[in-house]
Amino acid sequence: MSEVPQNAAQKTFYLETFGCQMNVHDSEKVVGTLVQEGYRQVETVEQADLVLYNTCSIRDKAEQKVFNRLADYKKYKKQGKTFGVLGCVAQQEGEKIFERAPYVSLVCGSASYRNLPNMLIQIEAGKQRVTGLDDRETDECFETEFTARTNPHRGYITIIEGCDKFCAYCVVPYTRGKERSRTSDSVLAEARQMADLGYTEIQLLGQNVNSYKDPEGKPGARKTFAELLAAVGEIPGIRRVRFTTSHPRDFGRDIVEAIDAVPTLCDHVHLPVQSGSTRVLDAMQRLYTREQYLERIAWMKAAKREISITTDVIVGFPGETEFDFAATLNLLEEVGFDAVFAFKYSPRPNTPSLRMEDAIPDDEKARRLEVLMAKQREIQTIRYKKYIGTRCEVMVEAKNEARAQWVGRTSHNKTLNFTAASKPRLGSYAAVNVTGSFPNSLLGELVV
């Protein structure tokens, strides 16, 4: 970023990101593109000429957050600032955003970011409203030569965009469009480039990485997702490889075999289950049964290393009975997850479940969420205690000055806060003796 000379006349931008890791990584692409165009990133809206929100519409609350933010900043319009809405709310609401927030001049979905420079030129030329909403079928949005990664040690690489699963509750297929995989050659070239720059951890990203299909190469030479994963893990200099998100329907045994064969592949899999009741899974159009989900868990439990498993759950899907909910609680017990991201079902525009009968009242959804989280807390309290007395390798991620502790992350994706007699370097790998545990983190001491 510092290669671009700074001067007083330089245009500035502020960018705030909501939503999932795909959005976080998209923002790194947007920052890189704008910096290349001569813009400078600033920390506050006050300092910025251009104010951008990279938005999420997965649940109603996420969407509301964006409109509240926009309403807050109405006053800045008088100061000549330009407002833009990017990401999933932009793609979902399209030009309707101009009506709800008339001071917005740019609305752009994630597949059109490569056109941002051109859109900004149009705004500078006096055009009031500019949109980029059209490229979801074709544009891969994988242009990465300018990507401004914020962390110098671990970085994301997009391997597949969009989603073809159309779960009954989900906006993603509408906001991010059809599945488009990137060639394995290009993923590997980027991973090698990152390794040369000193990155040691890579996280492969996609809404459904398991349906990755290498679009180029001779038949037979095209890489499956598991082969791509292993190939990234074998790049010299790369010490950790993660991937997210997996869909149980497409999660193959070959992924577990790859984790067994390649030590740099992290011993952690995030496999969203959504519900423990086959009846609800069917209504959600998840394309697997409880038993099939548990079969995948059994593959992981049979791995050579213990694989840490985390999941997502939705409570209060239309028609979810007490019996269905009890099946979900029982599944949590049976699997023993190391983290559960649980959400109250939120009805979303364009999705089939919006029209389903037997909606669950909000206070009942809230009750189920609370019960589920209390149960999972108990499970995690026991699971995390098992690490006391063991030694874990962490990547040193930050220092918590207030607590005089360092923050590390284990290969199985747990936060391990530790004290250290000698100062560890950020981004380095260190051995830590685990001395204590909480339901969501571990405590330890650096091994000298």
Radius of gyration for the chain, computed over Cα atoms and rounded to the nearest angstrom? 23
Min separation Cβ 178 and ligand SAH, Å: 14
State yes or no: residue 88 binds ligand SF4 (CB under 6 A): no
Residues 390-429 that bind ligand SF4 (CB under 6 A): none
Long-range contacts of 104-107 (CB under 8 A, 24+ apart): 104/70, 104/129, 105/129, 105/130, 106/52, 106/82, 106/130, 106/131, 107/131, 107/132, 107/133
- Residue linked to tokens 């969501």: 440
* Closest CB to ligand SAH among residues 113, 169: 169
Nearer to ligand SAH, 318 or 444 (CB): 318
The pattern of x and - marking residues 217 through 256 that bind ligand SAH according to CB under 6 A reads ----------------------------x-x---------
Helix/strand/coil (H, E, C) string of the chain?
CCCCCCCCCCCEEEEEECCCHHHHHHHHHHHHHHHHCCCEECCCCCCCCEEEEEECCCCHHHHHHHHHHHHHHHHHHHHCCEEEEEHHHHHHHCCHHHHHCCCEEEEECHHHHHHHHHHHHHHHCCCCCEEECCCCCCCCCCCCCCCCCCCCCEEEEECEECCCCCCCCCCHHHHHCCCEECCHHHHHHHHHHHHHCCCCEEEEECCCHHHCCCCCCCCCCCCCHHHHHHHHHCCCCCCEEEEECCCHHHCCHHHHHHHHHCCCECCEEECCCECCCHHHHHHCCCCCCHHHHHHHHHHHHCCCCCCEEEEEEEECCCCCCHHHHHHHHHHHHHHCCCEEEEEECCCCCCCHHHHCCCCCCHHHHHHHHHHHHHHHHHHHHHHHHCCCCCEEEEEEEEEECCCCEEEEEECCCCEEEEECCCCCCCCCEEEEEEEEECCCEEEEEECC
Beta-strand pair 441-446/429-437: antiparallel
Query: Which range binds ligand SAH by CB under 6 A, 48-56, 74-82, 338-346, 421-429?
Result: 338-346
Q: Which residue lies nearer to ligand SAH by CB, 22 or 396?
A: 22
In the bound state with ligand F3S, the residue whose beta carbon lies nearer, of 65 and 296, is: 65
Binding residue (CB under 6 A) for ligand SAH from 31, 120, 170, 226? 170
The nearer residue to ligand SAH, 200 or 308, going by C-beta atoms, is 308
Residue 341 touching ligand SF4 (CB under 6 A): no
To ligand SF4, the closest distance from the beta carbon of 265 in angstroms equals: 22
Q: From the list ligand F3S, ligand SF4, ligand SAH, none, which binds 309 (C-beta under 5 to 8 Å, kind-based)?
A: none
Binding to ligand SF4 by residue 167, rule CB under 6 A? yes
Site string for ligand SAH, 43-72 (x = CB under 6 A): ---------------xx-------------
Q: Which residues pair with 82 in a beta bridge?
A: 50
Binding mask 13-52 for ligand F3S (x = CB under 6 A): ------xx-xx-----------------------------
Q: Per-residue string for binding with ligand F3S, 48-87, x by CB under 6 A?
A: --------xxx----------------------------x
Q: Least distance to ligand F3S from the beta carbon of 59, Å? A: 8
Number of residues that bind ligand F3S (CB under 6 A): 13
Quick one: what does residue 312 bind among ligand F3S, ligand SAH, ligand SF4, none, with the CB cut-off 5 to 8 Å set by partner type? Answer: ligand SAH
Task: Find the binding residues for ligand SF4 in span 168-187 (CB under 6 A).
Answer: 170, 172-173
Number of residues that bind ligand SAH (CB under 6 A): 17
Token pair, residue 240, equals 């950790």
**Of 277, 184, 272, nearest in space to 225 by CA:** 184
CB atoms within 10 A of CB 373: 13
**Contact characters 176-205, ligand F3S, x per CB under 6 A:** x-----------------------------
Distance CA 136, CA 184 (A): 21
Binding mask 291-330 for ligand SAH (x = CB under 6 A): ---------------------x-x----------------
One of 88, 101, 106, 340 touching ligand F3S (CB under 6 A):
88
Site residues, ligand SAH (CB under 6 A): 58-59, 169-170, 172, 207-208, 245, 247, 272, 274, 312, 314, 343, 345-346, 348
Site residues, ligand F3S (CB under 6 A): 19-20, 22-23, 56-58, 87-88, 171-172, 175-176
Site residues, ligand SF4 (CB under 6 A): 163, 165-167, 170, 172-173, 207-208, 247
